[in-house]
Amino acid sequence: MKQMTQTEQKAHRKFLRSSVMEYPADKPFPLALDLWPGDGPTDMSWIRSAESGAVLFVASTGCEACRLEPAIALMRSHPQLAYGVLLEGDEEALAHLRAETAGLPDRIFRCDIALLTRQTPIRAIPYMLVLRPDGTAAASGLFNTYEHAERLARSIAGRDAAKPAAE
């Protein structure tokens, strides 16, 4: 995995210190996003076809606070939801995450977080955005434990699955 340069680390720390803004409830999530330089728009319309709603996780392999274990546990405990992971990392990290989540209802995208911040109100990581079937935000915020993720997901997933499913 590529190590961050000192300049990248400073920019990343500044990004993490920025205030966490709640995703505006009346603002639909974009149908397409430019997630990686030169790749063109990525179709995100699957969010609006998710019957029970969708959850997006935004994280970076260069972020010490970005643990995806809580996200994976949430996917296992609420399989009725659609999931997306926007991960800033190299191809090896994406392949590892895809292997770890095989069989779960998720989509994994390589993401340049600087590009994402220019197109959405997302300004901090690890970030979780819970979306209603119409694409509007039901809840959003930082997550780094299963309990944080579960609390945010309850807005669309209900309260009946408060513990992660056993592996």
- Pairing between strand 82-88 and 106-110? parallel
Residue 25 counted as domain residue: no
Residue 33 counted as domain residue: no
| Model confidence pLDDT, tens digit, residues 6-50 | 666 555 555 544 556 789 988 899 999 999 999 999 999 999 999
**DSSP result, 60-113:** ETT-TT---HHHHHHHHH-TTSEEEEEEES-HHHHHHHHHHTTTSSEEEEE--H
| Model confidence pLDDT, tens digit, residues 69-96 | 999 999 999 999 999 999 999 999 999 9
Task: Domain of residue 139: give its range.
Answer: 6-18+47-157
Q: What is the pTM of this model?
A: 0.83
Residue 105 counted as domain residue: yes
Residue 163 counted as domain residue: no
Residue 132: give its domain's CATH number: 3.40.30.10
Number of domains in the chain: 1
- What's the number of CA atoms in the CB half-sphere (13 Å) around residue 131? 26
Query: What pLDDT score does 7 carry?
Result: 66
Percentage of residues in the chain with pLDDT exceeding 90?
A: 76
